[in-house]
Structure 1
């Protein structure tokens, strides 16, 4: 027990715990305007630096950072981070979009994701067989990134304030195919040049980076949805000139609709402006979701050229080792 890297555990827990809190609460607490976020951000940086120093100098480190000398593992862990970012990020956006914009129930939003998940599960054994037959993982990963780009671009074009389920079903099936081509191949590619116990140590890195990528993805996307929605709202409102006949007619129609429901003319006018503001905010929110999907797609597309840097290896990694 005297060889257990207790300080490494403390530093790692401080780093991961503080980072997780900052990412989860940053947006709602106004990021660095909140003293708790500032303090925990400092703890995150100090904890990370102390953890790296401890693991590089202690004789029995809890995490062997030296395995990161392997170039395939470094690239693979980065790709796992990107995968987590895109996976959790897109999974976050779709239910929010369907519930807040389209007015679906939580059950309907959840059911929408099931066919894509089944597609991913169906792809797993097929991809495992391809890897065992010697198909280069970088080819599979590149195709997976390209398919995920097509999914995000499809969603970017399909999103409207009244999109139907038939317009979301097939993009999510495509997403399932793309994820199937990414999950196992990325990890086996990262571990392909490792041997012995280094394989297990490398697999731990890939799993951790996928989770961290998801945390970063959710935090960053949540923040950008809020900010992009505000920017789009400002632009849309700038086009709503009350001196224009079209705007006046629209307000008048909405006012008359509220008058017919028993409201006074003044109350109806106020409610007409509220309804128009809600419509503008709804459009701004959809535009922000469209932007996020486009940015996610470009991020995945930019990862494809990195596959050139992967070294080919004759080592065959059991796909089961990649499922961390």
Structure 2
């Protein structure tokens, strides 16, 4: 265990790396429009900038335990920091879309390793009694990263060109690489380990993981824009995902030395429950970050920077809560109590947001609901993490951390895909439901059209054109109302989903944090 100055330098290094990795999952979203213009790309083509990073992430995360043991955790972490930094620079230098997509994939390979391996390094940095504090610091990056991405991205896009969303990674990456070389050390178990010969590596498991999880991530990223199963490409990759995932599960349960040991799920009921709750956490975290900016920018007309600044206080609230929650866990407060409280608070956030959605809503209407969201996520993440890994030792802990990390990322992808599809289809359905209320035989509708027509006539438009624009304005009013109803339904549905998952807490065995969790192998 490290102490004093060295300990906190390591903490700063790995938390910054976690922030970089997760900020880059969302920072590009606000720059896609600018990229489309500069790189002459369509909306569907530019979505690959997001998809490539996510696919690489979800493939690498479950393999980090094996890769850290094979090459040494310090070496693997240093390589990943350098790879992420160089790829970030290359992304900013890209001259065409597919060059940028390729470098984003490479950036995702490095980034996935940063998140998973950082957790293990923090565990080795803190003594067992302070383990919840180490996990809390890791959690700060996990919760704050996806939320701060739109804030930083919005500021950069409003004031600079899109390449700077990648260049900002470079100085932090250089600093992290230097600190890694100077301060991070491998634990004796990894330092003295003998790497597996190439012939003994689970190449079949790696191939099936890439095919299954990579194809699934592709379907989730591209399904909405391709009309899901109406598209032959989505059908093909869905088939590959099913074959790959089933084959991967079979292979990892039967292989003598699997790349991802799924048998660890059978050793710990808390891990199995925690893995599902990690999926729920990822779903809520990424879906809420996805839907809120769309609503404020498309419906209320906020800028990307305005939206980002709104999200920031709640994210910071989560970060500030993490050490407090860690100390509460050290004091013996049960995860079985904290997790339901967090779920209920998140439910309150969703219903509060649902009631705040209106055409006249302003920034002040969303401040406190988003603060409540931050508190709820803070109460969910750390208890789930410590509960999932409690009682596991050595390689089992490393495998468990990789599995829960992958599932949390997949939960986020499912959340964004499902919410995006729900928005698109519910807007159409709600429009059909409201249309009967608009009729030329309805006096109120006629008055509204006449008022719009007079307004356009007053601006100098001919009568025929003024009438056409009046009908267009009425359609705009209708669609705004439809959108408000739909976004309100999305937040309500998110809250109900969280409440529906609460009974799973009954399956959790009570665990204590103090000294019973050996995560020295965690990745």
Could you state the TM-score of these two structures normalised by the residue count of structure 1?
0.96
In structure 2, the partner of 1:243 is 441
How far off its partner does 1:196 sit?
3.0
How far off its partner does 1:319 sit?
11
What's the secondary structure of 1:2's corresponding residue?
A: helix
In structure 2, the partner of 1:300 is 498
How far off its partner does 1:183 sit?
1.2
| 2-structure distance, mates of 1:8, 1:39 | 21
In structure 2, the partner of 1:109 is 307
Could you state the TM-score of these two structures normalised by the residue count of structure 2?
0.60
Report 1:159-238 matches (<5 A). Answer: 159-238=357-436
Determine which of 460, 468, 477 is the counterpart of 1:279.
Answer: 477
Contact 2:392/2:519, CA 8 A, preserved across alignment: no
Aligned residue pairs, count? 324
Contact 1:72/1:310, CA 8 A, preserved across alignment: yes
Tell me if 1:39 matches 2:250: no
- CA offset digits 1:33-61 (Å, max 9, x no partner): 11100000000000001111111121110
Report 1:15-26 matches (<5 A). Answer: 15-26=212-223
Report 1:151-166 matches (<5 A). Answer: 151-166=349-364
Gaps of 5+ in 2: 1-197
Contact 1:152/1:296, CA 8 A, preserved across alignment: yes
More displaced stretch, 198-207 vs 60-69 = 198-207
What's the secondary structure of 2:501's corresponding residue?
A: helix
How far off its partner does 1:120 sit?
0.5
How far off its partner does 1:305 sit?
2.2
Tell me if 1:125 matches 2:329: no
Q: Which runs of 4+ in 1 moved over 4 A?
A: 317-321
- CA offset digits 1:184-238 (Å, max 9, x no partner): 1111111223233212211111111110000000000000001111111111111
- CA offset digits 1:41-82 (Å, max 9, x no partner): 000000001111111121110000101112111110000000
Gaps of 5+ in 1: none
| 2-structure distance, mates of 1:138, 1:319 | 20
| 2-structure distance, mates of 1:156, 1:318 | 40
| 2-structure distance, mates of 1:57, 1:315 | 32
Contact 2:330/2:513, CA 8 A, preserved across alignment: no
Determine which of 78, 82, 89 is the counterpart of 2:287.
Answer: 89
